[in-house]
Amino acid sequence: MSNKGRKLPGESYAPEEIKKLLAQFNCRYATPTRNRALVVVMWRCGLRVSEALDLLPGDIQDGVVRVRCGKGGKARVAALDPQGQAVLQAWLDRKQKLGIGGPIFSTLKGGRMQSIYVRQFLPRMAKKAALGKRGHAHGLRHSFACDLAKEGVPLRVISKSLGHSTFATTQVYLDHLTGGDVVEVLQKRSW
């Protein structure tokens, strides 16, 4: 089957690469604190940029993230681990202290952030982190899926958490697994 005319998936990042990326945010200031929290929420919940930017304060409670309107108008839930919750809480505390309202990931004046802003700062941060890969938001989503697959999470759970209608769509995300990953999994098998 030819890939001509078919958009190929973007790169994913290893957890170490994302940690290097996150280390580039100077959290002494509000904007980097917000941007770091945004990257963590997109990565740890597998959210699209628009889904993360649409989150309202009531959409995240006790680590449960409610995506009210995902792609195709579909709602779903995701979950944020305790470390991710701590990073997000640092932003929410800063935001409250500054008296900023609006969506969770708002401008410093409380307005809605634009996705183009995220698509511009991520490549800069990836370059600063010397990742050797282009920085892109959807790569965080792919990384989420690949991380879950490496942890042995069933395909149906990964698919549902991403909001995919079919397993085939999810499989495209998982095609990022490297040959080394395949060898590691196969060598662990027993009979």
Q: How many CB atoms lie within 10 A of CB 98?
A: 10
**Marked catalytic residue, from 76, 133, 136, 141:** 141
> Per the residue annotation, which of 68, 94, 128, 138 is the catalytic one?
138
- CB of 115 closer than 8 Å to CB of 16: no
Tell me whether residue 71 is one of the annotated catalytic residues: yes
76-79/64-67 β-pairing: antiparallel
**Options 13, 36, 136, 173, the catalytic residue:** 173
Q: Catalytic residue, from 44, 133, 164, 176: name it.
A: 164
Q: Among the options 36, 48, 95, 142, which is catalytic?
A: 48
CA angle 30, 36, 89 (to 5 degrees): 75
What's at 37, amino acid-wise? A
Torsion over CA of 44, 50, 14 and 165, rounded to 10 degrees?
80
> Catalytic annotation on 19?
no
Residue 164 among the catalytic residues: yes
Helix axes 115-128, 30-45, angle to 10 degrees: 90
Annotated active-site residue 117? The verdict is no
- Which of 20, 66, 71, 94 does the annotation list as catalytic? 71
Q: Which residues are catalytic?
A: 48, 71, 138, 141, 164, 173
